[in-house]
Amino acid sequence: MKENYMNKPDEELELHLKPRETETVSIKIPKETLESLKKVAANRDMSIEGLLKFYIGKSLRQDLSKLFSERVLESTAQFLTRHIHSEDEIKLKEILKKAIVEVIQEQKEVMSDLMAEIMEDIALATAIKEGENTEIVSREVIFKTLSS
C-alpha cells in the first residue's frame, strides 16, 4: 500500500525527477519586454528562463484545452450525425449542437481553465507515477534544475 504524504505534513517529501529531452531555441525579444520579464522574474524569485518556461507551459495548456474542447464538440456532432436519423432527431441534434456551442462560447474561459486543470492533474499524476520508479534526487538538485 502506498503512503499518503498528505496525512504526514511534517515528514520531508522525496521527489523523483525524470529528465525530459530538451532542445535549445533562440528567440528575439524586444528590450522593453526583456526588462519587464526581468522584473517579474525577480519578483517571483525565478530565473528569466524559468519564467518563460512557466508562461509557455501555461499558454500551451490553455491552447491545448481549447483544441480539446473543439474536438469534443466535433466528436459530439459526429456522434449525433451517426445516431440520429428521423426528422425529430435531426431537429434535436441541431438544438443540442447549438446548445453545446453556446455553452463553450459563453463559458470559454471556464472550459479552458477546466481543461487546463484536468491536463495539469493528469501530468502531475503521471509525473508522480514516473517518479516512484526513479532514483531519489536531493532538494538542491531539484532547485538547481528548476532555476535553469
Q: What is the pLDDT of residues 20-67, one digit of tens each?
A: 788 899 999 999 999 999 999 999 888 898 889 888 888 888 788 777
In angstroms, the CA 111 to CA 62 distance is 10
pLDDT at 1: 44
Instruction: Give the pLDDT mean for 101-110.
Output: 71
- Residue 41 in 3-state DSSP? helix
pLDDT at 131: 72
pLDDT at 35: 94
- Dmax over Cα atoms in the chain, in whole Å? 66
Confidence of residue 7 (pLDDT cuts 50, 70, 90): low
Instruction: Give the pLDDT mean for 96-116.
Output: 73
Burial 70-88 (b: 16+ CB within 10 A, else e): eeeeeeeeeebeeebeeee
Mean pLDDT across the chain: 77
